[in-house]
Structure 1
Amino acid sequence: MGANCVLPSLFQFGSYREYLKQFYEYSKKVTPGFSYAYFSNRAGLPSPNYLQMIMTGRRNLTVDNIHRFATALDFGEEEREFFETLVHWEQTEEPTAKGFYRRRLDRLRPKDQPETRALTRANALFREWYHPVVWVAAEGKTRDEVVELGGSLKLSPEQMSQALDQLGEEGLLVENAERKYQLVADHLQARDSNSMKLLQKEYLGKQLDLSKWAWRNRYGKEGVFLSHTFTLDIDDYAQFSSQMTEFLSSLVAQADQKKSNNISQINVQMFSLSGQNLNKLFKEPEGNC
């Protein structure tokens, strides 16, 4: 897939046209058949070359098309609002309006955002539960040093080497002149494209298995296990999901302030119990004691 299989976060850009250029190059590598016409179809635009005209500055985005673009770019609510403001800031020439949109950009840009964040459709992260572990552990280390860390994770040298190879092939790790690994971004956010849904679902299942193992072996030690049951209107799930994401981002930003070789895991789930027959899940096995 190559070294361009990651796309920096929109919040790191000061030009929406520059973001669109990088998005286009990224999409050409990760989306089979991607083209200007492909994007126009996703955005519901009549012109097949509209994206190209916007990228090159031949046309400006209208208010209506800003949101068509945001939909085609698969933006969440926060990204959509930031994108809209960035477009207005870049396209306006009036000083008062430009100052207004600059201040709005400063308010909308996440304060606890890691130094670099990127989007990816590379699937190497999800092939095995330990691939993200290898990815975060590799920074600043040589290949031999990373492979040696496998002992503390109960992973064989073959497993560690295979993980490094797959992460490297998809551009998530690069080696510098000193043959030490560098991360392409401090944090990666996976885009849930249709081709990755099953892979990500299987990966999350492995993480739940990992949580169960940790509960058995780390409870009362360094592990922290919390659970809470509450009522929540189904219409509020999206808002709660967004708040959970923001909370995790703040924890990660706090952890980033101090470098450590100790690798930790947080798994968070929220789901509805109403209307489900869960008795069989907790039924005691039949038989004599």
Structure 2
Amino acid sequence: MVSKVEQVFDQILALVASGMTIRDALKSRPEFPPNPTFKSFAYGGDPQRRVRLEAAKAAGKVAAAGRYKSRSFTVENYCRSLDIIFTSDPAVRLEDLDYENGPPYHTLRYRAVRDAAFASRLNTAMKDRKWGGRARTYSDAQVDQAINIIRTEGHARYRESHAQRGLPHYCQILRRAEGDPALLRRYQNAVRAWVDTSGELHRTSLLANHIYRSIDDAVPRGIERADREDVISDLFEQVISGRIPIDNVASFASEFVRRHDRMFSRHRNRSLDEPVFNGSRIDSVSADSPEVWGY
């Protein structure tokens, strides 16, 4: 009885002789056996199978060598690849950079092993890369656009989208700002401007929701903002859970304010060792002692 491996053995050897690895050849067709089964058949039993396999592997190496000739790169190609590393985004792996048909990262590393001077240049490019280079490949207009986006959309949003927009990484802006104090101030002001307005922008987006807007209209505005937001959140949860109809939220607003005040008011639940008022050395316990007040 002929085994299933023997039926396809010649086909597998032909693929190996063409330059494919044994693993790739076995994966090329679903009817081929897995690698352990093939190896067991080739190296066990008839010694001629092993001889034929080794001959196919030798022919495959010759075929692959003729097909994949090593590329030669000029000095300008190597300089360009170093410059790409130097100005690249630190978030991208060096192996995944687009070297624009120049020597890729593994070729640069191979040359660095044989050339100490080149190894020093490569290490310098990689070391400075942590700042994203000096943004030499970006114009002043692109840097201005980046700062405006940070000001209007926020730092986090910009970090996520700068590559798709074709704009510099924020580290590149900082590196460029090392010799430009005015640029550094513009960048810092843009970051602060977003932080200062982000709370109000968030509130504006919430007001677009009719439930939040109705509750916001019902809650009194004379209380502190943080307390008011807590009350609004409590009411919003009750409405969306179906416990309070949205049409009756105004009648519940005052009760929720009183409930919040009973739980969190700064005039209640004071610590016994807390000063009776700001700047006082007298705590709440001592304040009940007549000796403190001189009588």
TM-score under structure 1 length normalisation = 0.20
TM-score under structure 2 length normalisation = 0.20
Higher relative contact order (CA 8 A, sep 6+): 1
Larger fraction in helix: 2
Larger radius of gyration: 2
Larger fraction in strand: 1
